[in-house]
Amino acid sequence: MAIDRRMWRRCRRIVEGLTIPTPFAPAPFIAALASQRGRPVELVPMAGRSGHCGALVSTDQADYIFYSASTTQLHREHILLHEVGHLLCGHIGDTTLDILPKLLLPSLSSELVRRVLGRSDYSAEQEQEAELVASMIAQRAHRRSGSSVSPEFADGLARLGSVFDTP
């Protein structure tokens, strides 16, 4: 699915409205975002979850971002920013029914939970939108930080930058 100009402009407006600190680190950025929104965002690391990268769970009290702690710094940052992208774009729903049973009730199968609670997935467009927001935040954050990025970050950002050269 190609990114249309409408989505590109919407994502760019969202990211342009953000205060992105220098130097950049995901946790303080997300804490500041939570403060601005007046709603807590809790980061929940998951050890050894190679099949699932991240998930956003919203409750009446807070938003929870589950993320894989068993990956590279660059990948972990992108997972967090992707879930923030869902949050900023308003993609709040019950999209985590596959991962939550494994986290909270490992004795229950995902299939059983799905049958009891139903299932709602993010659309391909919502995933693309969250991915675009995440990439734009990362590009903006690390472009401003100059030479303080690691070679792994620099390589990843160069690849991301090539995607964003022409909207």
**What are the start-end ranges of the H helices in the chain?**
5-16, 26-37, 73-89, 100-104, 110-117, 124-144, 151-164
Question: What is the rounded average pLDDT of the residues 147-167?
Answer: 54
85 lies in some domain: yes
Domain CATH number, residue 80: 1.10.10
CA distance 102 to 126: 24
Cα dihedral value 141, 81, 25, 39, nearest 10: 110
Domain-embedded: residue 17: no
Domain range for 32: 24-141
With 70 as the cut, is the pLDDT of residue 146 above it?
Answer: no
Query: Is 71 part of a structural domain of the chain?
Result: yes
Number of separate domains in the chain: 1
For residue 162, being part of any structural domain is answered with: no
Phi, psi of 67 (to 5 degrees): -145, 155
Q: Using one digit for the tens of pLDDT, what is the confidence trace for 46-63?
A: 876 555 578 888 888 899
161 within a domain of the structure (yes/no): no
Q: By three-state DSSP, how is residue 124 classified?
A: helix
Residue 151 predicted with pLDDT over 70: no
Residue length, the chain?
167
Q: Is residue 122 part of a domain?
A: yes
Q: Tens digit of pLDDT for each residue in 85-135?
A: 999 999 875 444 455 555 554 555 555 544 444 334 567 888 899 999 999
Tell me the pLDDT band of 154, cut-offs 50, 70 and 90.
Answer: low
> Which of 35-44, 62-71, 110-119, 136-145 shows the highest mean pLDDT?
35-44
Q: How far apart are CA 90 and CA 123, in angstroms?
A: 13
CA distances from 156 to 8, 85, 107, 153 (A): 20, 18, 38, 5
Q: Would you say residue 160 lies in a domain?
A: no
Give this prediction's pTM: 0.72
